[in-house]
């Protein structure tokens, strides 16, 4: 069943609940679904969908790097102001917070991230990004929404519009936030440090979705409990003694030393961790030297370190320092400089089990059991995890974004689809936004609607 077809069936879902068929929904789940304004929601989403697609394309064509999201933030703030949210801008840099009070009830935080990546788009889409900007190092780079944040934002706006239109069907307070700098792991921390939970209503629940580059449109995936990893950024400055490439015996070659460190780092996972503990140590960048015949004074390595357990995280970080120092000592080189960038640390994301089960139950009723499936934890990171501060229950789910033709072709040819952060990744806008808006709205209604 296509996404548009299942949405057209939403008003029939309530009528069919009590039918004695093999796929009948358990009795304890019938009343919540029956209480939802499904037909009104369907009509509202269909009416808004063309403008949401246009919004998505505009955001896609005008991406902005982390902590540079000024145009994006202004656009989202304007959308909330039109809906009578009380909007505060420049929260934690370029972050925005919109508050809408609608009687007594729980406070629900709904988050979207806003930043794009330093990637030159290669999709060939008519609305592909051609933006170039300066990154934090001052280097000119292409800029692209290669992680679906444009889908997140347009779905977030769609949910805000739908919830305002359905105000008679829920009671509580909405806190819609546009968060900067998710891609560098700092945006949530900056907003919280700026007083998100003190200056604005503290949420009873926090919700978000994330586009998925490997899942079929119309589907949703979720992880109960552990969902995503701890993420650390580590820099190693390998020091040597430079000189002429023809006289290496008069130097201490930091390139050879860096290569040794890169290889030895692999043993942290393969030989030092319990095989049952998942972890990743990846050297994503290595820079050193200027010319063929010059041995440089130093080489810089940049690492991403992923783990699920705090104890494993500590073991990895301690091991990186030990290996770097030990390799330098063995090469008679100056001590290396190992820096753990705590400003970019992202803690593991744990979805609250009760909130996850409650929300997933509703998703399955509306989208169908086969379209809502569990997934294993992944080594990706998400600073949405920080909103669990103060024991706030959080839940993030994955949104399928790939059209049937691309999905089937990839599986038939046994070729992987372009991943997140690929210059070739793009979602199918209309169905992705339809389900994104629907699930965000349903998740809020499921927590705020008055008891009958």
Among residues 344, 366, 396, the one where a domain terminates is: 344
Q: 154 near 436, Cβ under 8 Å?
A: yes
Pair (316, 407) in one structural domain: no
Largest CA distance in the chain: 85
Pair (79, 181) in one structural domain: yes
Pair (150, 170) in one structural domain: yes
320 CA to centre of own chain: 27
Pair (404, 276) in one structural domain: no
Pair (12, 129) in one structural domain: yes
Q: What angle do CA 348, 350, 354 make, to 5 degrees?
A: 175
pLDDT value at position 390?
Answer: 84
Strands 230-239 and 172-179: what pairing?
Answer: unpaired
Residue listed under structure tokens 């803690």: 347
- CA of 284: how far to CAs of 281, 303, 305, 339, 446, in Å? 9, 6, 10, 15, 42
The domain in which residue 426 lies consists of 3-228+348-448
Pair (197, 52) in one structural domain: yes
Pair (91, 219) in one structural domain: yes
Pair (132, 203) in one structural domain: yes
pLDDT value at position 142?
Answer: 98
CATH number at residue 391: 3.40.630.10
pLDDT value at position 449?
Answer: 67
Pair (202, 125) in one structural domain: yes
Pair (291, 438) in one structural domain: no
Pair (382, 422) in one structural domain: yes
pLDDT value at position 5?
Answer: 45
CATH number at residue 257: 3.30.70.360
Q: 427 near 211, Cβ under 8 Å?
A: yes
Residue 323: partners with Cβ closer than 8 Å, 6 or more residues away: 261, 264, 265, 267, 268
If one counts every other C-beta atom within 10 angstroms of the C-beta of residue 318, the result is: 11
- CA of 217: how far to CAs of 2, 81, 155, 363, 443, in Å? 9, 31, 14, 14, 18
Q: What angle do CA 403, 163, 110 make, to 5 degrees?
A: 70
Residue of 178, 164, 166, 151 whose CA lies nearest to 55: 151
User: Which value, in Å, is the radius of gyration of the alpha carbons in the chain?
Assistant: 24
Among residues 326, 344, 362, the one where a domain terminates is: 344
Strands 107-113 and 172-179: what pairing?
Answer: parallel
Q: 73 near 181, Cβ under 8 Å?
A: no
pLDDT value at position 35?
Answer: 79
Please give the tally of structural domains in the chain: 2
- CA distance between the termini of the chain: 32
Annotated active-site positions, please? Answer: 115, 182
Residue by residue, pLDDT tens for the chain (452 residues) are 444 444 444 433 433 332 223 333 344 444 467 778 999 999 999 999 999 999 999 999 999 999 999 999 999 999 999 999 999 999 999 999 999 999 999 999 999 999 999 999 999 999 999 999 999 889 999 999 999 999 999 999 999 999 999 999 999 999 999 999 999 999 999 999 999 999 999 999 999 999 999 999 999 999 999 999 999 999 999 999 999 999 999 999 999 999 999 999 999 999 999 999 999 999 999 999 999 999 999 999 999 999 999 999 999 999 999 999 999 999 999 999 999 999 889 999 999 999 999 999 999 999 999 999 999 999 999 999 999 988 999 999 999 999 999 999 999 999 999 999 999 999 999 999 999 999 999 999 999 866 44
Residue listed under structure tokens 């008519």: 126
Distance CA 389, CA 204 (A): 11
What is the helix (H) or strand (E) element at residue 450, kind and residue range?
none
Pair (66, 112) in one structural domain: yes
- CA of 46: how far to CAs of 161, 209, 326, in Å? 12, 20, 62
Among residues 344, 368, 401, the one where a domain terminates is: 344
């Amino acid at each position: 069943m296509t996404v548009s077809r299942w949405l057209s069936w939403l008003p029939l879902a309530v009528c069919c609940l009590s039918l004695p068929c093999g796929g009948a929904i358990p009795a304890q789940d019938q009343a919540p679904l029956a209480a939802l304004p499904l037909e009104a929601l369907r009509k509202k989403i269909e009416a808004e969908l063309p403008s949401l697609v246009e919004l998505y394309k505009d955001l896609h064509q005008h991406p902005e790097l982390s902590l540079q999201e000024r145009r994006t933030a202004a656009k989202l703030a304007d959308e909330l102001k039109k809906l009578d949210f009380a909007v505060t801008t420049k929260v934690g840099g370029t972050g925005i917070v919109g508050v809408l009070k609608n009687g007594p009830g729980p406070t629900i935080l709904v988050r979207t991230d806003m930043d794009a990546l330093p990637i030159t788009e290669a999709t060939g889409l008519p609305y592909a990004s051609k933006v170039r900007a300066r990154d934090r190092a001052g280097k000119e780079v292409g800029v692209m929404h290669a992680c679906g944040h444009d889908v997140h934002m347009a779905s977030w706006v769609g949910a805000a519009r739908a919830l305002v239109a359905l105000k008679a069907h829920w009671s509580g307070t909405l806190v819609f936030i546009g968060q900067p700098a998710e891609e560098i792991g700092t945006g949530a921390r900056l907003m919280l440090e700026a007083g998100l939970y003190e200056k604005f209503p503290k949420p009873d629940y926090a919700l978000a979705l994330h586009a998925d580059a490997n899942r079929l449109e119309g589907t949703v995936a979720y992880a109960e409990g552990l969902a995503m990893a701890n993420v650390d950024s580590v820099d190693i400055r390998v020091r040597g003694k430079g000189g002429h490439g023809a006289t290496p015996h008069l130097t201490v070659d930091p390139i050879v030393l860096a290569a040794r460190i890169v290889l030895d780092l692999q043993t942290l996972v393969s030989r030092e961790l319990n095989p049952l503990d998942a972890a990743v140590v990846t050297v994503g960048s290595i820079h050193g030297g200027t010319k063929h015949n010059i041995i440089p004074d130093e080489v810089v390595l940049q690492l991403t370190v992923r783990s699920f357990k705090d104890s494993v995280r500590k073991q990895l970080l301690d091991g990186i320092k030990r290996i770097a120092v030990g390799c330098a000592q063995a090469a008679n080189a100056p001590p290396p400089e190992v820096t753990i960038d705590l400003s970019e640390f992202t803690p593991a994301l744990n979805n609250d089990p009760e909130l996850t089960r409650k929300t997933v139950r509703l998703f399955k009723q509306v989208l169908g059991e086969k379209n809502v499936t569990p997934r294993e934890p992944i080594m990706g990171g998400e600073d949405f995890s920080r909103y669990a501060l103060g024991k706030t229950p959080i839940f993030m789910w994955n949104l399928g974004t790939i059209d049937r033709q691309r999905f089937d072709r990839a599986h038939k040819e046994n070729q992987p689809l372009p991943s997140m952060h690929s210059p070739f990744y793009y979602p199918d806008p209309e169905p992705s936004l339809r389900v994104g808006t629907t699930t965000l709205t349903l998740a809020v209604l499921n927590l705020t609607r008055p008891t009958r």
